[in-house]
Structure 1
Amino acid sequence: MAGIFEQLAERRISEALARGDLDHLPGAGKPLVFDDEPLLSPEQRMVNRILKNAGFTPREVLLRREIAALRQAVEALPAGAERDEKRRELLLLVQVAESRT
């Protein structure tokens, strides 16, 4: 159950929306971008931001991307030796990914 302050805030926001007071704010109509992860410590968020700005991609992310690309390749190939080889490569990568978790 919402308290009195939450109800008052909701009413004032609704009134401002009806008047159009919030129509021309920066970023209006665009999705919110949450770069920070709230469950991480401030230090870890800073480290993550530095690594991201430096273009660093964790090995796990690269591995998942490679697995996704191989899955698409396997599905696109006709049955045969090449598809079997790609499937073996995919299974190996999946095993490597599972061993890291």
Structure 2
Amino acid sequence: MSLDHIIEEKIKKAVRDGDFDDLPGKGEPLPKDEFAHVPDELRNSYRVLKNAGMLPEEMQVKKEVVELEELLENITDPEEKNNTEQKLTEKRLRFQMLMEKRKMSGSRVYGHYKGSIAKKF
């Protein structure tokens, strides 16, 4: 009996017993992926870093963008609002530059190994 078969049987038994009936979030849509803007090949690495309490630079900048957007909603002073909007624009540009850099480096890596990958198939 394989391990996969044992796991499958335990899951089926739990479903029959109603163990999954009262799970939090049942029937609700899945939460948005916070890494949806990150290229597919980097998402798992980012999750590992996040779970370890470390953020790559682009994620730190994205976090700062969100914080500035929330701050901007509550500012009433025109001068302070203008300064915050300027900071927000700079952070957004920085984030876009970092993501473009990631995309280019990812495609270079793929290009480097493309021949080896094709030979495997």
Gaps of 5+ in 1: 1-8, 32-38
More helix by share: 2
CA distance in 2, matches of 1:52, 1:71: 22
Gaps of 5+ in 2: 1-7, 26-39, 100-121
Instruction: Kindly state the Cα deviation for residue 81 of structure 1 after the two structures are TM-superposed.
Output: 0.4
Instruction: Kindly state the Cα deviation for residue 78 of structure 1 after the two structures are TM-superposed.
Output: 1.1
- TM-score (ref. length: structure 1): 0.52
CA distance in 2, matches of 1:74, 1:52: 26
Q: Which has the larger radius of gyration?
A: 1
- The share of aligned pairs that are identical, in percent, is 19
Counterpart residue number, 1:70: 68
Give the alignment partner of residue 29 of structure 1, picking from 23, 36, 39.
23
Instruction: Kindly state the Cα deviation for residue 29 of structure 1 after the two structures are TM-superposed.
Output: 2.4
Q: CA RMSD in A?
A: 3.6
Counterpart residue number, 2:55: 57
Runs of 4+ in 1 over 6 A off after TM superposition: none
Amino acid at match of 1:96: R
- TM-score (ref. length: structure 2): 0.45
Matches within 5 A, 1:1-101: 13=12, 17=16, 20=17, 23=19, 29=23, 49=48, 51-52=49-50, 54-101=52-99
- How many residues are paired up? 72
